[in-house]
Amino acid sequence: MGVLEAWERHLEKTKSQKTKETYLMLVKEFFKFHKVDEKEIIENLKPSMVYRFVDESDLNPSSLLTTLSALRYFLKFLTRREYIEKSMYESLKAAIEEAREELNAKKTPRYPRALTREEIEAIFEKVKGKKYEKIYTLFLYSGIRLGEYEKLSEENFFMDKSGILWIKLTPEMTKRNKGRLVPILSPDKDETLKVTEKLSRWIEDFEGNFRVKRGVLQVYTDRLSKRLNIDFSIHSFRHTYITNLINSGFPIEVVKEFAGHSSIKTTVETYYKFSQKRAQELVRNFLFSQ
């Protein structure tokens, strides 16, 4: 049995399915980066691998930090099972901690930012015809969380009498353990109809069109972000969806429910920032739509 297979079995007993898949995928990516075969892992371990990975990898600081956490857990496993000497573990651990400190020092706080129309077009141009086009479409026009997406199936979608496509999230699927209904919406009526038609077709084979492991989706998105030089993640689609709801004039209590926020305070403090453009549109609508 190889060391990664042994570690996978350990993860199955000690971590959630989500964490197991993410950690295993990230550690495999780490050794793939160094062109180290699984059978050669023990013989090739050295602290310089950590620094080289951090310096040369295309991953952003957040993803690098997650990879280092997974790697540290893997190394601890190797040490306790006596695959490697404790002195080697301490050297590698020191390198990881030093790299983490540098990354944390450089890491800047990320605030919610809606994607621009130009950014959305550039992203979808790159994924056109791929499974990721369907997945990104679902995220962009529903605002669901990544954890909620993982639990979705065709049964969670329904069309109402007016032709609006909805997602029914049950309590066990959500972050706050509170079920909610989410409409498929864009800021434009015609665009909403087109997206609804596409998603309705795609969800007929939900597993084939939408199922991708969380870690694989995150790594693909991170690399696409670097390639396009657009700062975005899966969560950026959610920010965009919620921002579009606000700019379209939906009441705050409705936005809060569609977003699945724990309180209106969260919605206000995170998303309701003053926009001069939106303020002008609201005034015009008030004066001239009577």
Could you tell me the domains of the chain?
3-106 (1.10.150), 117-288 (1.10.443.10)
Per residue in 168-218, pLDDT (tens digit) is 999 999 877 889 999 999 999 999 999 999 999 999 999 999 999 888 999
- The pTM (predicted TM-score) of the whole model is 0.64
| Residue that has been written with the tokens 């003053």 in this structure | 274
DSSP 115: P
Q: What is the pLDDT along the chain (290 residues), one digit of tens a residue?
A: 689 999 999 999 998 888 999 999 999 999 999 999 988 999 999 999 998 998 888 888 888 999 999 999 999 999 999 999 999 999 899 889 888 888 876 655 455 789 999 999 999 999 999 999 999 999 999 999 988 999 999 999 999 999 999 999 999 998 778 899 999 999 999 999 999 999 999 999 999 999 998 889 999 999 999 999 999 999 999 999 999 999 888 999 999 999 998 888 878 877 776 556 666 776 877 777 65
Question: Beta strands of 117-257 (E only): which ranges?
Answer: 157-159, 165-169, 180-183
**pLDDT at site 106:** 60
